């Protein structure tokens, strides 16, 4: 095996393979993962203890007064995935984690955190301010701010080939996923996350499709604590679109 990617299209070959056979890996799949592990080392960043992150959930808590009910933020315990043995198996599936293995999804800004839960206009959202309680080693899966769409007519040289693969990895982690899509679409990024976790890293930073900023997925749910909560109302959603084709 080699620490170099076989092709600039190696990620998509890997993704196609593991979506069909999640638990049976070909020699090409294993070679790809070895190349990812090797090239990921230069993408590891240190996040200091006390780093502020944000996490949002649609909804609130109703607090009963003598004459009325008022909306207040959800309890702190509701703003993190449950770790009790009788509920942890119910944790949902995401692009980083398989069902039943919780991770802490957060963001580097309130705006990104709110956008990622895809609230409807008029929705009430609880936003938690989180604080990391130890220094963390995070793999930064993003490439340049504007991802190149270079078309390769021949195989590029080593550094450009490596960058091309990491651009595809960037797209895989950051691209929007429709709620109706088959969960098999998560298999490639979940396997990469498992690889990073096995290598002793604490989490993954990946681009948000909702604007400047990053999503942060921490493998250890208790690596950050809720220090404050606030309630927001979504007053509008900006629609962005691009032309695809015309009949």
Cα three-residue angle 109-110-116, rounded to 5 degrees:
95
Read off the tokens for 185: 């679409």
pLDDT of residue 21: 85
Question: What is the spatial distance between Cα 39 and Cα 43, in angstroms, rounded to a whole number?
Answer: 8
- Within its chain, how far is the Cα of 180 from the centroid? 18
Q: What pTM was estimated for this model as a whole?
A: 0.86
Question: What is the spatial distance between Cα 131 and Cα 128, in angstroms, rounded to a whole number?
Answer: 10
Where does residue 160 rank: exposed (0-12), middle (13-18), buried (19+ CB within 10 A)?
Answer: middle
pLDDT digits (tens, 9 = 90+) for 193-219: 999 999 999 999 999 888 788 999 999
Q: Which H or E element spans position 90?
A: none
pLDDT of residue 15: 94
pLDDT digits (tens, 9 = 90+) for 126-163: 999 999 999 999 999 998 755 566 777 788 888 889 99
Of the CA atoms within 13 Å of residue 1, those in its CB half-sphere come to: 14
N-terminal to C-terminal alpha carbon distance within the chain: 47
pLDDT digits (tens, 9 = 90+) for 31-82: 999 999 999 999 999 999 999 999 999 999 888 887 888 989 999 999 998 8
Question: What is the spatial distance between Cα 16 and Cα 229, in angstroms, rounded to a whole number?
Answer: 41
pLDDT over threshold 80, residue 124: yes
59: left (phi over 0), alpha (psi -120 to 50) or beta: left
Question: What is the spatial distance between Cα 42 and Cα 45, in angstroms, rounded to a whole number?
Answer: 8
What average pLDDT does the segment 176-182 reach? 61
Question: What is the spatial distance between Cα 22 and Cα 191, in angstroms, rounded to a whole number?
Answer: 9
């Amino acid at each position: 095996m080699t620490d170099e990617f076989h092709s600039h299209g190696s990620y998509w070959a890997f993704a196609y393979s593991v979506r069909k056979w999640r638990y049976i890996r070909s020699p090409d799949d294993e070679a790809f993962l070895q190349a990812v592990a090797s090239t990921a080392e230069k993408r590891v960043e240190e996040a200091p203890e006390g780093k502020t992150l944000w996490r949002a959930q649609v909804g609130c808590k109703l607090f009963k007064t003598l004459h009325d009910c008022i909306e207040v933020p959800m309890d702190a315990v509701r703003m993190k995935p449950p770790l009790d043995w009788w509920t942890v198996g119910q944790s949902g599936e995401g692009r980083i984690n398989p069902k039943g293995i919780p991770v802490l999804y957060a963001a580097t800004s309130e705006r990104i955190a709110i956008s990622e839960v895809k609230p409807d206009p008029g929705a009430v959202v609880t936003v938690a301010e989180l604080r990391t309680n130890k220094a963390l080693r995070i793999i930064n899966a993003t490439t340049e701010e504007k991802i190149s769409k270079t078309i390769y007519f021949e195989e590029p040289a080593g550094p450009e080939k490596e960058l091309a693969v990491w651009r595809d990895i960037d797209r895989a982690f950051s691209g929007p996923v429709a709620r109706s899509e088959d969960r098999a679409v998560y298999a490639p990024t979940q396997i990469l996350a498992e690889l990073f976790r096995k290598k002793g890293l604490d989490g993954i930073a990946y681009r948000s499709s909702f604007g400047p900023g990053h999503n942060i997925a921490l493998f250890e749910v208790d690596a950050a604590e809720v220090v404050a909560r606030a309630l927001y109302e979504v007053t509008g959603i900006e629609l962005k679109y691009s032309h695809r084709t015309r009949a």
